[in-house]
Amino acid sequence: MAASNNDSLDLQSHKMLILSGKEAISQFRSVALLNKLKATIPTLTSISSVFINFVSLNPNCDINQASRTLKTTNNVGEAIESSLPADGLETDSKWVTLARLLDHQIGGVSVQPTDSFFAISENSDTSCPIPKNSVLVIPRLGTTSPWSSKATDIVFTCGLGDIVSQVERGILYFLNSSSGPLDLSATNLDLLYDPMTEQTCLFFPPQSSIFGRGEVRLLNYVDLGVPLEFDSFDSQLLSSYYDLAVKKLASANKEKGLALADDEIEYLVKAYTGIDPSTGTRSSNRLSRNPTDAELMMFAQVNSEHCRHKIFGADWTLDNEKKPHSLFGMIKNSQTLNPDYVLSAYSDNAAVLESCNSTLIRRFYPQSSDKNSYRFCSLQEATADHVNIVIKVETHNHPTAVSPFPGAATGTGGEIRDEGAVGLGSKPKCGLVGYTVSDMRIPGFEQPWEASTSSVDYPPHISSSLDIMIEAPIGAAAFANEFGRPAILGYFRTFLEKVPKAIQISQSNDNSSEISQTPSKKIKLDESDSQQYEVRGFHKPIMIAGGMGSVRSQHMLKNGFGIGSKLIVLGGPSLLIGLGGGAASSLAGGSQSADLDFASVQRPNPELERRCQMVIDACTQLGQLNPIACIHDVGAGGLSNALPELVWESKAGAVIEIRKVLSGDHSLSPMEIWCNEAQERYVLAIETEENLQVFSEIALRERCPFAIVGETTEEKQLIVTDSHFNNTVIDLPMEVLFGKPPKMSYSDNKLTRPLMSFDSSLSSYIPSSQLNDRLNDCVDRLLHLPAIASKSFLVTIGDRSVTGLVSREQMVGPYQVPVADVAVTRSTYDVECISGEAMAMGERPAIALISGPSSARMAVGESITNIAAASIESIKRIKLSANWMSAAKVSGEGYQLYEAVKAIGIDLCPQLGISIPVGKDSLSMQMKWTKNEGSTTVSENVVSPLSLVITAFASVDDVRATLTPQLLSDEDSGEKTRLLFIDLASSKQRMGGSCLAQVYNQIGDSVPDVEDPAALVSFFSAMHKARDNILAYHDRSDGGLFLTLLEMSFAGHVGLDIDIEKIVSNSGSDGSIIEALFNEELGAVIQVKASLVSTVLQTFSECGFSNDSIYDIGGVVCGSDGSPKADFAEFRIGEKVVFSKKVSELMRMWSETSYQVQKLRDNPITSLSEFETTTEFSAASKQLSGSKVDFLIQDYRPTKEKLYELLPPK
């Protein structure tokens, strides 16, 4: 596995088989592809496809036996009778095995072009024809695809190495046209292939092209224009050379998409030339040469905003006043004040938390080298070596915007690697995913609020929101499914709106943490003037990937390693993908060329990442004998970032040979090998030959490729050599990379947005004078808003049970409704241990258009009310990941960002007793492009609102005690129950930034906020202590109390009888009724047995939470009562009914958005069947949904007594 890439195939002596395989694309996907291609080829009538397998044959094999066994045609497309294999011939049986592996049908007659066919290419340089009106999609010539690597490995494992040397695969598309032959050479076929990794052909390429290697590209230098041996004391001449070098490097910076700041360009010019324009001298401590393209690309990645978070570490000046803290300093403040239960923060790929009852968590692992027997570790071992919680949340916004499927897939894969590369090796456990995009505008299902921005389009090379939501979730789920990690949490939001521009109205030093929440009298807004408006939305989407893992205490922290340690690259080969991803993610979307944007997107190979993880698992299972001295995952910047980081861990240098890096594209230049972001790779340090031998044996057993690429040196110099060209690719002092690059200083001013109050009565937006009509309209809109509507299309595509440790996922109750507040996993398979881990999310970006600090506080508050559904002994156990998204360089956005960070880092989190030990920032959240309108070039810009996505993590003391939103009927609960509304907002009912405002194209002026942090702490404590007496729980969030209750009703298939009289303001006006139902302040609803209401109230009181903020608002109506109202959700004020509608009708509306996306993505027939099945029910007539799951399992698994046999004596 640790082989050189210089081994060459004697292509002249190799022949190639071309074998058809199975159908490549299902019928309904072919129809979807046909509809898209008709825009380019209007005469198309149908599309079919088949896999084509290319088999490079071993020179010693008998080609005649292959022909006798496999052929069904002499020439592709000409049908003939097949010659079946002779019995008893060993070679024939191997050809049959090969055919079965490649799904090639032997025998029969080829009638259709997609039927079985066979050809032999006997001349390595001669191509073969393909059928008319067909196009072949193959991996880029000169590359080895991930499929080829896996398939060739399988072929060899099956004992076919004596007849096959390598296999590769393509897809042959047959395009049937009503106009006869097509000129495909002049047709745009981009929809058929991925230009980064594939290409199209109108013939079968020869063997030398499929399996050959292209000419190796050269190392390049950037000429700075300064004579290398030039020495002068003429300050004017030195200054002119310096200016020339800066100009040349700035030009290269733009051309290569390096995203270097001006001061970084000057820093590099000084390092290479030694010229200091401020003193007019030239230092003798200089590199005295031109930089290589590999050095510049490496520096750009290592020091990109994406990797180094320069804005979060910058000095800030706001309204001309220098601020005392950096953004990162304010985040760290929360950890400094509340360090409890955090074992590692800010120093590794993920943070590490202390587990609950960690001495009882007994690992289950192989007890012998043959891996055939397993055991639990003893309690003594568990006490000595705790298993701790790994937490991490990442973003992959830019790649998902450019190419959604691979962008989201590699975002998930990268975060999984973060969880597996903590300390000396760790293990991923469960995942989450979230998306924020602009309006989807589903064809034929456009929503009323989307009309006002229907003219806002997208850059040509950026995916639309609908395309993102069709492809990206599949990419993320496919990676997690194939890797074997459950996806059990997430969120989805859309937002695109024209809003008044924020403007500066004073130069005064206003240090308030609040942005004005009321319209300024100094600002007069002309609603007819489009120049006073701007578009805010998520054309640059948010793609969140996160999760939890585990790590043993002895492996939790990275150690220094010695000089002479071997440097290992574990995982897949280098490919020309993801080049410049770290730098590209640091730029505003669309600000560089489409080619550079597309080149920066990686491609996934989850099966290989699983192999890598198996190697890491096997190493960590060795405990103190773990051969890994240090490990990092390979992410942004590729090896150019990961290997220097690994080496810098021990403050050493390194000598690395670039040609020892495994490569799947043998034409790559040294820069491309060093800087590409091909995924599924880790870099490791191994100190001794004995440990290297142990590691090698494990990697070989797991069939995981690796390469020994270099070793560490005492001299702190990074040297990368190239044996192919016999030159040096990189020769830089480590301090040039990691020393003291210029620190950023950032200034901004407070801007105030002209705001208009939201008309809560809705009479300004709906002509009807009847409250019932207005309520029906707003309910219809809200239930179709993606942030509120069912997320089923995002949930059902993912495996939510793999590992066997998932205790609570999204689907709730016997009807499997995706409304859970929290995800929970078990700590171990040990049946005696009931502890675990929980995670929940919170985000409120629309509020940030009015108040950044309020938006941040509400995100934290929502994450806490969500995670409160799990049994967590103290709020101090909660630790947050803060993922910040902002267009920080847009005027006013930096101010908002600073004040939002301050609001939670300095104020709220310390008040709650929680901390933020991990997070990420993405601070180029805008999409800029130009388009032509006639002879005029128009600039477009969509800026995202400040968005903070909070993920709360905590250890759980009892995974069995997790509450869900499922309302129980009286029959199931054993008696009558009551629904109690818990108000955490001190009776405030502000509507700014709400979903209701959004669906009427408003943002409002007064927004929700965390009114009383102490009350939130008391609430959390009371929820834990009253847990045994609570039947159901759901927090108030998007859509307000109304949607909270509806989702609880959906989960239980019960009716609602709700009286809101106590929570409607005294005026009782239409506006106050709507505010009570739809405000999104913090709060929750619990279901309690009627006989235990007083007990629960007493518990809340004892915990310091006022009973004045708890309201009895009604109960459920059940089919067992015989009441027809069991089918209805009814809301009253006293005896006056203000809203009543069947629960099944409401659920159908709530499910429709999910169905509309699903039918575009999946088989429309089965999508419709699922939609109809899950939304047709009647509790009154006991006609239950066809989706009900009865957990009546005939369990043939081992009994509890048998499981105890696996437990060693205590």
Asked if the model's pLDDT at residue 1015 lies above 80, the reply is yes
Classify burial at 711, counting beta carbons within 10 Å of its beta carbon; exposed 0-12, middle 13-18, buried 19 or more.
middle
Let me know: does 331 contact 898? Beta carbons within 8 Å.
no
> pLDDT confidence of 1051, banded at 50, 70, 90?
very high
Q: 559, 744, 740: which is closest to 649 by C-alpha?
A: 559
* Residue, of 635 and 625, whose pLDDT is higher: 625
- Measured N-to-C along each axis, helices 1013-1025 and 852-867 cross at an angle, to the nearest 10 degrees, of 10
End-to-end CA distance of the chain: 43
| Structure tokens given for 192 | 């058929």
Half-sphere exposure of 305 (CA within 13 A, CB side): 24
Which residues pair with residue 167 across a beta bridge?
55
Q: pLDDT at position 1147, please?
A: 96
Q: What is the pLDDT of residues 163-202, one digit of tens each?
A: 999 999 999 999 988 888 888 887 788 889 887 778 899 9
Q: What is the pLDDT of residues 334-353, one digit of tens each?
A: 999 999 999 999 999 999 99
Q: pLDDT at position 926, please?
A: 94
Let me know: does 823 contact 432? Beta carbons within 8 Å.
yes
Report the pLDDT averaged over residues 680-688. 96
Asked if the model's pLDDT at residue 125 lies above 80, the reply is no
Domain segments of the chain: what residues? Answer: 11-210, 326-519+532-623+804-961, 968-1175
Cα–Cα distance between 745 and 725 in angstroms, integer?
42
Mean pLDDT estimate for the chain: 88
Report the pLDDT averaged over residues 1174-1199. 63
The residue behind tokens 């921005």 is 453
- By three-state DSSP, how is residue 391 classified? strand
Cα–Cα distance between 118 and 79 in angstroms, integer?
10
Asked if the model's pLDDT at residue 1203 lies above 60, the reply is no
Report the pLDDT averaged over residues 312-330. 94
Let me know: does 1057 contact 1117? Beta carbons within 8 Å.
yes
| Structure tokens given for 671 | 């820069």
> pLDDT confidence of 559, banded at 50, 70, 90?
confident
Let me know: does 365 contact 346? Beta carbons within 8 Å.
no
> pLDDT confidence of 1209, banded at 50, 70, 90?
very low
Cα–Cα distance between 195 and 209 in angstroms, integer?
17
Give the other-Cβ count within 10 Å of 757's Cβ. 14
Let me know: does 256 contact 296? Beta carbons within 8 Å.
yes
Report residue 1201: phi and psi, to 5°.
Answer: -65, -40
Q: 362, 365, 349: which is closest to 423 by C-alpha?
A: 349
The CA-based angle 440-441-447, given to 5 degrees, is 110
Lowest mean pLDDT among 68-77, 197-206, 467-476, 613-622: 68-77
Number of H helices, E strands in the chain: 35, 45
- By three-state DSSP, how is residue 700 classified? helix
Cα–Cα distance between 660 and 679 in angstroms, integer?
17
User: What is the residue type of 838?
Assistant: A
Q: What is the pLDDT of residues 782-795, one digit of tens each?
A: 999 999 999 999 99
Classify burial at 1167, counting beta carbons within 10 Å of its beta carbon; exposed 0-12, middle 13-18, buried 19 or more.
buried
Q: What is the pLDDT of residues 583-630, one digit of tens each?
A: 444 445 554 455 555 566 778 899 999 999 999 999 999 999 999 999
User: What is the residue type of 627?
Assistant: P
Cα–Cα distance between 224 and 288 in angstroms, integer?
11
Report the pLDDT averaged over residues 56-79. 68
Q: pLDDT at position 603, please?
A: 80
Cα–Cα distance between 1072 and 1046 in angstroms, integer?
20
Lowest mean pLDDT among 42-46, 863-867, 1069-1073: 42-46
Half-sphere exposure of 119 (CA within 13 A, CB side): 23
Q: pLDDT at position 122, please?
A: 67
Q: pLDDT at position 27, please?
A: 87
Let me know: does 798 contact 481? Beta carbons within 8 Å.
yes
Let me know: does 1021 contact 1058? Beta carbons within 8 Å.
no
The residue behind tokens 């309020």 is 854
Let me know: does 546 contact 393? Beta carbons within 8 Å.
yes
The distance from CA 98 to its chain's CA centroid, rounded to whole angstroms, is 37
Let me know: does 523 contact 1027? Beta carbons within 8 Å.
no
Cα–Cα distance between 178 and 133 in angstroms, integer?
11
Asked if the model's pLDDT at residue 753 lies above 60, the reply is yes
Cα–Cα distance between 1044 and 809 in angstroms, integer?
18
Could you say which architecture CATH assigns to the domain 968-1175? Answer: Alpha-Beta Complex (3.90)
Four-residue CA torsion sign, 804, 807, 813, 815: negative
Q: pLDDT at position 140, please?
A: 85
Asked if the model's pLDDT at residue 110 lies above 50, the reply is no
Q: pLDDT at position 7, please?
A: 38
Q: What is the pLDDT of residues 1083-1134, one digit of tens each?
A: 999 999 999 999 999 999 999 999 999 999 999 998 766 677 889 999 999 9
> pLDDT confidence of 6, banded at 50, 70, 90?
very low
Cα–Cα distance between 396 and 949 in angstroms, integer?
13
* Residue, of 735 and 1089, whose pLDDT is higher: 1089
The CA-based angle 532-1003-845, given to 5 degrees, is 105
Let me know: does 810 contact 796? Beta carbons within 8 Å.
no
- By three-state DSSP, how is residue 405 classified? helix
Report the pLDDT averaged over residues 947-956. 98
Provide the strand spans (E) within 724-800. 727-733, 745-748
Residues 6+ apart with CB under 8 A from 1038: 785, 787, 788, 995, 1080
Four-residue CA torsion sign, 656, 657, 661, 666: positive
Q: Quick one: what percent of the chain has pLDDT higher than 70?
A: 87
Report the pLDDT averaged over residues 39-48. 90
Distances from the Cα of 355 to the Cα of 177, 381, 385, 601, angstroms: 63, 16, 12, 36
